Structure 1
């Protein structure tokens, strides 16, 4: 007869695994409500975590380079490399001293009278017909990178509403910090310009969460006009566009002061017949006076993206349907 043994301790099935699965990142639920402030204080090197929501961190594939203080200028590797063995390197514009009362990150604009905006080509859009977030390179007239502009819109909204979609555009500098944010609400278009609820608008924030101004479409029949307002909703500039986009030539939107003087322009460069058929890529040249207020320069810069989405944004699916007719 065996001696009775002591009862064994019950096994705790709720014990956590040594490698727990992290929770999924929160989803972006709104496209016109001010989001959380952008992360600040990026370390000089080796930031391991994710960057601002919607694009990769600094050390992740496709992320942004770290600006080495006192070292060689940081470089940006464009998304399309003609030579995969030795990709081209684009230097970033050196940061100038900030002028008084300038939102952080916008000091670059104080030394510019011309900005070049290049939309990046994304081959997956062409192959799959699925529209991904837009990405833009922003350069000065010497070809140096100034900013990157990244769309942060969910897949369903982006592919359901196409060019009229509400969006959030994040403007980031060479360190990956979000220095400006643009938010567009959902407004359905209409052939009648008398209804204010169909007028397109764009809110500009710098730093993110702090209103800098607004771009408002004006109800002028068969015209593409906008007004620029400051943070107090005061009318400060006008943008006068053509009656319709010009075929086989550049499309120019004139920037005018309140007294009607032409002080600059937003020029959408015609891509050429071949490139227009292959991909939806838009290039813009923005000019304004060198001594124009930095805030007004930022507002003219922001208006370029509302113009791009309203008049020149075509989804891959739309292009395929157009080819079938």
Structure 2
């Protein structure tokens, strides 16, 4: 039994003319953007920041806890932010740089502007290139 093949039809001169216009028109909702002051708006005019660490000798000598406190100031010594770390003393001394941390960033009025969480990540000293994860909440 012999089969015959049909010839390939010629291409249409204007392909898919019915697809040119959509069948249903969907209107895009207009979003109104309100301008709220950004939490880092204080830093828009600052060209240089100084970060200093407050170290309490008593807490270091008596293992009272390792609450690091940092002060962020402008070049004319105006206080912009205060950063306080919260953890227990044994985590700070045994895990050191790998320790999990929670930082509370407060502005000069004392309101919390940002919270930074970094969970514990086990990295070896041989291969210290494992990525750390950090979460920033505002």
1:128 is matched with which residue?
62
Q: Which of residues 152, 157, 172 is equivalent to 2:106?
A: 172
Mark the runs of 5 or more structure 1 residues left unpaired by the alignment.
Answer: 1-99, 208-325
Report matched runs for 1:149-160 at 5 Å: 149-160=83-94
**Aligned partners of 2:57 and 2:71: how far apart in 1?**
16
Q: 1:166 to 1:151 in 2, by over 3 A?
A: same
How many residues align? The count is: 103
**How does the TM-score come out when normalised to structure 1?**
0.29
2:135 is matched with which residue?
203
**How does the TM-score come out when normalised to structure 2?**
0.64
Report matched runs for 1:118-267 at 5 Å: 118-190=52-124, 191-192=126-127, 198-205=130-137, 207=138
Q: Which of residues 109, 112, 115 is equivalent to 2:43?
A: 109
**Aligned partners of 2:92 and 2:128: how far apart in 1?**
25
2:31 is matched with which residue?
none
Q: Which has the higher contact order (CA 8 A, sep 6+)?
A: 1
**Aligned partners of 1:101 and 1:188: how far apart in 2?**
40
**CA deviation after TM superposition for structure 1 residue 162, in Å:** 2.3
Larger radius of gyration: 2
**Aligned partners of 2:128 and 2:73: how far apart in 1?**
35
How big is the alpha-carbon RMSD for the aligned residues of Structure 1 and Structure 2? 2.1
Q: Is the 8 A contact 2:66 2:88 kept in 1?
A: no
1:61 is matched with which residue?
none
Query: Could you give the per-residue CA deviations for residues 114-145 of structure 1, whole angstroms, max 9, x where no partner exists?
Result: 11100002111342245421000110011110
Q: 1:175 to 1:193 in 2, by over 3 A?
A: closer
**CA deviation after TM superposition for structure 1 residue 113, in Å:** 1.8
Mark the runs of 5 or more structure 2 residues left unpaired by the alignment.
Answer: 1-34
Q: 1:121 to 1:144 in 2, by over 3 A?
A: same
Q: 1:114 to 1:156 in 2, by over 3 A?
A: same
Q: Is the 8 A contact 1:152 1:168 kept in 2?
A: yes
